Amino acid sequence: MFANLLGKLMGNAGGHSVSFDEIKAASETGSAHIVDVREQGEFAAGHVPGAINLPLSRFDVDQLPTDKPVILMCLSGARSGRAHSACMGNGRDDIRHFSGGFSGWAGRGGRVVR
């Protein structure tokens, strides 16, 4: 599964989304940066362990880390999808998003920190 995650994150497999199991593995191992594009108040109320907050309202592709792949997420997948499109338009091919969003994360029992 870890090799599959890295392949998807680096663009060696089809699709732009990662599964719950893939984002969970990234959170646990630090194999990718998890960037939550929800607003600061939403992020402060609970987020994926290790995630950083870059709200979509002030999103700047140039602020994303570049030392390893990035997984974008939001509440339901819509905002992270828009942020992903902006990244692709800027030539970043190491970006994926978790289309299940924080709702999908928490709904599947993913660990939440504040």
* Domain-embedded: residue 114: no
Does residue 40 form part of some domain? yes
SS3 readout for 23-63 = HHHHHHHCCCEEEECCCHHHHHHCECCCCEECCHHHCCHHH
**Rg for the chain (alpha carbons), in Å?**
13
Q: What does the pLDDT read at residue 10?
A: 41
pTM of the full predicted structure?
A: 0.87
The backbone torsions φ and ψ at residue 72, rounded to the nearest 5 degrees and listed phi first, read -95, 145
Please state at what angle helix 2-9 crosses helix 20-29, rounded to 10 degrees. Answer: 100
Distance CA 89, CA 107 (A): 31
Question: Each residue's pLDDT tens digit in the chain (114 positions)?
Answer: 444 444 444 443 346 899 999 999 999 999 999 999 999 999 999 999 999 999 999 999 999 999 999 999 999 999 999 999 999 999 998 999 999 999 999 999 999 999
CATH number at residue 86: 3.40.250.10
pLDDT of residue 8: 45
* Tokens found for residue 54: 């870059």
Which domain does 95 fall in, by range? Answer: 2-107
Q: Judge whether 112 lies within some domain.
A: no
Return the pLDDT at 14: 42
- Number of compact structural domains in the chain: 1
